[in-house]
Amino acid sequence: MATTEPLRYTPATDPRTLLSAEELDTARANVARAPRLTPAQLDTVAAVLRPHLRALLQPDRVA
């Protein structure tokens, strides 16, 4: 189920289609200086996103 292929950007997922070079640099700088998520926060994010990601990756299965 896991894949080792890198994410391929499409026009819908490529941030360069939405942000200027300056905005993208600013966003990257903001991410770089943001504190890391705690394990509890990561668990919460995973719990929220897991069913949606499963539905996207396995559309024939109901979440």
pLDDT tens sequence across 21-62:
999 999 999 999 999 999 999 999 999 999 988 888 887 765
Q: Does residue 31 form part of some domain? A: no
* Dihedral angle over CA of 21, 19, 56, 34, nearest 10: 70
In-domain check, residue 20: no
* Confidence (pLDDT) at 38: 97
First-to-last CA distance in the chain? Answer: 16
pLDDT above 80 for 2: no
Indicate whether 42 belongs to any domain: yes
Q: Residues 19, 27: contact at Cβ < 8 Å?
A: yes
For position 5, what pLDDT does the model report? Answer: 65
Number of domains present in the structure of the chain:
1
pLDDT given for residue 59 in this prediction: 72
pLDDT for residue 12 is more than 80: no
pLDDT of residue 9: 62
Domain that holds residue 52: 37-63
